[in-house]
Structure 1
Amino acid sequence: MTSPTKDQTLAVVFVSNGPGELTTWVRPLAERLHRRLLMRPRAPGSLVSLRLVLVPCPNATGTEAAAASRWGLFDRITLARQFWLLLLKPSRFGSWPDRGVVVFLGGDQFWSVLLSARLGYRHITYAEWVARWPRWNDRIAAMAPTVRDQLPRRFRSRCRVVGDLMADLSSHAKEEAPLPSGEWVALLPGSKPAKLSVGVPFLLETADRLAAQRPGCRFLLPVAPTTSVEDLERYASCSNPIAASYDTDVASIEPARAGEGLRRLMTRNGTEIHLQENPPAHGALSQCKLALTTVGANTAELGALGVPMIVLVPTQHLGVMQAWDGWLGLLARLPGLRRLIGLLLSAWRLRNHGFMAWPNISAGRMVVPERVGPITPEQIALEAESWLATPERLQGQRDDLRGLRGEPGAVRALAEEVQGLLPLALSD
């Protein structure tokens, strides 16, 4: 049997950026496509290669490629810092088939437009709120009808409303093993350095205080795929200047108890925090009564799972809370202007951006509480105890979140759209 020629092979190329998108969009769609098609690397002799291209993003951690490689889903992964060189000379990064499909799944939509044009591939964009470049999209997969309605009429036929990719999280979460019995509270300090430097010490002290108020509480901290337990220890220690503002520290990391499977972080004050180190942690999170979380994609995940939450933005640390999106975030990082512009930018965003949690942005109203300001762990622990003491309030928020979630099936629908752009002989 002769080896396939270049013209017989095909690439499906995912374009994405940060840890939230990788976990909630990229991985589920990759898993679905591998079930629908024979693709490398899971099918070594396949004509179809599934690849991941990471793009420049101020919110990325730099460890996205390492996290994605552990999943064994991609035949090739291109780092964000290599993106411009990839555009200039694709052959530097191996052989690229003549035919392929570029799938936008996070970052700036223009990056995927450039890449599809450079490679000569067809192009589909998953659009949450707006499709910015419909002229250069073969297909648009919209989260909601409002995305389609914003398109010029001549491009609407290219758009299919597939739904919210997050809506599928809850159905997959049911398949995972239950947590040990107890009143579980999730702690989500973020996945990016700017958020972790504040979120880790803040939430560890909050857990200490909540444990003292409500001794039956048990704590779960999902370790993001781009983070490690060693990172958590570092952000809670004196090597993080912000940690000095909080009365907490990591005393030790203890092995899992028999039958539980989760290692435990012990704070200096004796609070036990279980570490979920096998992302995604959707099954474990879905069993929590309440979550304390920073802003970001984690609020969308929690909302999709129907987990009540309190969203935290401690503004006393604006100097490091610069993990904003887009060109404004890039401007805040310019040498010499970083601190001044970062402070002004962050303050402006907090005053004028409106809602910051994804469920509130989606609903256009306050569904989950957002605590923005010079908040303290003591205040948040008291508020969390109040929520836990009133199950009917928690159930009300849970019902609101489920009402926003939409029907599952978006991942399947998007996979159908991607497959529909493949040559017929390879998509059968």
Structure 2
Amino acid sequence: MALLSGGAPPYDILILSNGPGELTTWVRPVVMELRQQLPQARLSLVLSPCPHASGQEAKMAQEFIQIDRVQDPDFFLAFLLTGQTEEAWDWAKRGVVLFLGGDQFFAIWIAQRLRYRLVVYAEHQPRWQPWVDAFALRTEEIKRRYDGGWLLGHCWASKMHVVGDLMADGVASATYLPGMPVSGWLSSRSFSTQTPAAASKPTAGFSSLTQIPALSEAVPSEGTVPEPVPNRFAQEGLLPRGWQRLSDGGRTHYQVGLLPGSKPAKLSLGVPMMLAVADELRQQLPNIRFVIPVAPGQTPQSLAGYAHPKFNPDMALVYGTSGALEQTNLGAQFITPFGSTIQLWTTFPAYSVLANCDLCLTTIGANTAELARLGVPMVVVIPTNKLEAMRAWDGILGLLVNLPGIGTGLARWINRLALGWLGHLAWPNIWAGREVVPELRGHLRPVQVAEQAQVLLEDPQRRRQMQAELQQLGGKPGAAQAIVQLVAQQLSKS
């Protein structure tokens, strides 16, 4: 994006974020809106260390989100201590720091150092109120709980602004994007065809985005083939080979998405378990197809390591199945020893694929919020077969469980305690305060997961009910626009 002629930009907007979920669902829609409302701003992204990170966040930001400047998390501490970036960035006199993930205290530190105004997107808790200029809050409930209270005379109320759920914007902003091929493998474009209508759909700007259609009544069918359910994408764009729209009345098979995660701690358990679940389901429902959307930062080859017992000793802990990676002229796929075929979808984002799944089996994380926004029925799988593998805690806990030597024991102990008192872990259940989608938690076997999945697949009425509840929870786009308006207000005060 061209800046004003003459070299230096009129103002800088520094975005602080961390993990891949925040980048894809928070940073991307805000950047799209910033480009429209504040085209003269120079956009910089500083990545803070994150236990969920894949190591590819900087590349993703540059290539997919199109940030002007990106600071790798490896240099974050040096930036905090010295104020110098790796490439010695210059800064405009006017600017705003925008917090979109990580630790809010870091945003305060950076804003004070640069003498910029500070806007914080607070999904749950707005912290450090005296030093933040404006809070963008997800819900009215958060505003009521954290606006200062009667003791402080609501002195922070003027800083609290309800903008809505930014996750809804993240999904909506990518609904009709053709996607970004995952590096290191043949793009899925080679075995799919984009519909002309989808190809002509605008991809930038919220004004051009179309809402996901509301649910409609499905036409029942007989027999053991899947019953048609409402199509959540009128024009779904690219789909894997053999994949059909959910509204197709002549569909002859179930379509199941497998989301094992994107980080080593999850993948070492998730990949072999999901392959084993596919084997179990195929025995009960032969008319079924599977797909694994390859997450950013991963490739089919890297996933293959988790599907091989020689390279993944955790496979036995979840009673998992191995898989051989095959590359055909139609794309990549896993073949299990029992003959199950699992396609690998290597274009990101994979919303068109997920929206046309009868059911998804997924780990916890931002993906559960994305599926909720898409209205996709899901079973959330939280295996505790290896407690020490769960080290994705923020703050002090995150530091403790990752300490060398004693970190493994601490992780096992902390996770055992935490799982005893933590409530719902999937985002739709957290939002609703009840179990909208099943959460399978504990020392799991693939047959347990497969049984729950089979129950839902054979109960289209329950899945339609789940779809309706999920879409009500997903919220409506608009948070990104409201956040950018707050940024513009703070720029006018700087």
Global fold match (TM > 0.5): yes
1:347 aligns to what? 416
Equivalent residues in 2 for 1:12-51 (5 A)? 12-38=13-39, 47-51=40-44
For the structure 1 residues 219 and 144, does the alpha-carbon distance in structure 2 shift closer, same or farther, using more than 3 Å as the test? Answer: same
The 5-angstrom pairing of residues 8-407 of structure 1 reads 9-38=10-39, 47-71=40-64, 73-92=66-85, 93-149=88-144, 150-152=146-148, 153-168=154-169, 169-170=171-172, 172-173=174-175, 174=233, 176-177=236-237, 179=239, 180-181=243-244, 182-237=253-308, 238-245=310-317, 246-255=319-328, 257=330, 263-407=332-476
Cα pair distance change 1:219/1:321, threshold 3 Å:
same
- C-alpha distance in 1, partners of 2:326/2:25? 28
- Deviation at residue 4 of structure 1 after TM alignment: 3.2
Amino acid in the other structure paired with 1:103: L
Question: What is the distance in 2 between the residues matched to 1:200 and 1:232?
Answer: 7
Which amino acid counterpart does residue 156 of structure 2 have in structure 1? Answer: F
Q: C-alpha distance in 2, partners of 1:25/1:109?
A: 15
Once the two structures are superposed, residues 10-60 of structure 1 have per-residue CA deviations (whole angstroms, 9 ceiling, x without a partner) of: 21111111111111111121122223332xxxxxxxx52111111122232
- The DSSP-based 3-state class of the residue aligned with 2:136 is strand
Aligned residues of 2:14 and 2:44 also touching (Cα < 8 A):
yes
Is the deviation greater in 80-89 or in 198-207? 80-89
Tell me how far apart the structure 1 counterparts of residues 142 and 320 of structure 2 sit (CA, whole Å).
Answer: 46
Secondary structure of 1:349's counterpart equals helix
- Using a 3 Å threshold, how does the CA distance of structure 1 residues 54 and 385 change in structure 2: closer, same or farther? same
Distance 1:263 1:311 in 2: 25
- Which secondary structure state, in structure 2, belongs to the residue aligned with residue 316 of structure 1? coil
Deviation at 1:324, TM superposition (A): 2.5
Deviation at 1:350, TM superposition (A): 0.7
Structure 2 distance, partners of 1:89, 1:155, is: 31
SS state of the match for residue 421, structure 1?
Answer: helix
Deviation (angstroms), 1:401: 1.1
Deviation at 1:102, TM superposition (A): 1.0
How far apart are the structure 1 equivalents of 2:258 and 2:458?
A: 18
5+ unaligned residues in a row in structure 2: which ranges? 149-153, 176-232, 245-252
Q: 2:325–2:332: 8 Å Cα contact kept in structure 1?
A: no
Indicate the residue corresponding to 2:479 in structure 1: 410
Equivalent residues of 1:367, 1:400 under 8 A apart: yes
C-alpha distance after superposition, 1:388-422 (max 9, x if no partner)? 00001111111211221222222222222223333
Question: Structure 1's 71 and 234: CA in aligned 2 closer, same or farther, altered over 3 A?
Answer: same
CA contact (8 A) 1:65 1:77 kept: yes
Q: Does the CA-based 8 Å contact 1:140-1:158 persist in structure 2?
A: yes
Maintained 8 Å contact 1:170/1:282: no
How far did 1:77 drift?
A: 0.8
Structure 1 distance, partners of 2:238, 2:358, is 13
Pick which of 226-235 and 411-420 moved more: 411-420
The alpha carbon displacement at 1:72 in A equals 5.3
- Quickly say closer, same or farther: Cα 1:207–1:35, change in 2 above 3 A: farther
Q: Return the alpha-carbon distance in structure 1 between the equivalents of residues 420 and 428 of structure 2.
A: 19
Q: Which amino acid in structure 2 is aligned with residue 145 of structure 1? A: E
Q: In the superposition, relative to structure 1, how do residues 144 and 15 fare at CA in structure 2: closer, same or farther (>3 Å)? A: same
Partner of 1:71, secondary structure, is: helix
| Structure 1: gaps spanning 5 or more residues | 39-46
- Indicate conservation of the 8 Å contact 2:20/2:53, yes or no: yes
**2:339, 2:63 → 1: CA distance?**
33
Q: How far apart in 1 are the matches of 2:112 and 2:371?
A: 36
CA deviations on 1:207-250 (whole Å, 9 max, x unpaired) are 12212221222212111112222221111112111124444222
Contact 1:16–1:105 (8 Å) recurs in 2: yes
One-letter code aligned to 2:323: V
| Secondary structure in structure 2 of the residue aligned to 1:356 | coil
SS at match of 2:59: helix
Amino acid at match of 1:177: G
TM-score of the aligned structures, taking structure 2 as reference length: 0.79
Q: Which moved more, 1:234-243 or 1:322-331?
A: 322-331
Supply the AA of the counterpart residue of 1:271: S
Partner of 1:42: none
3-state DSSP of counterpart to 2:64: coil
Q: In structure 2, do the counterparts of structure 1 residues 86 and 218 end up closer, same or farther at CA, with 3 Å as the change threshold?
A: same
User: Closer, same or farther in 2 for the Cα pair 1:252/1:21, shift >3 Å?
Assistant: same
Instruction: Letter of the 1:358 partner, please give it.
Output: W
- The answer to whether the 8 A contact 1:254-1:266 is kept is no
Q: Assess if the C-alpha contact under 8 Å between 2:31 and 2:65 holds in 1.
A: no
The CA deviation at 1:369 is 0.9
RMSD: 2.1
Q: Distance in 1 between matches of 2:271 and 2:103?
A: 29
Q: Distance in 2 between matches of 1:361 and 1:48?
A: 36
Paired residues of 1:186 and 1:220 also in contact (CA < 8 A): yes
Deviation at 1:3, TM superposition (A): 6.1
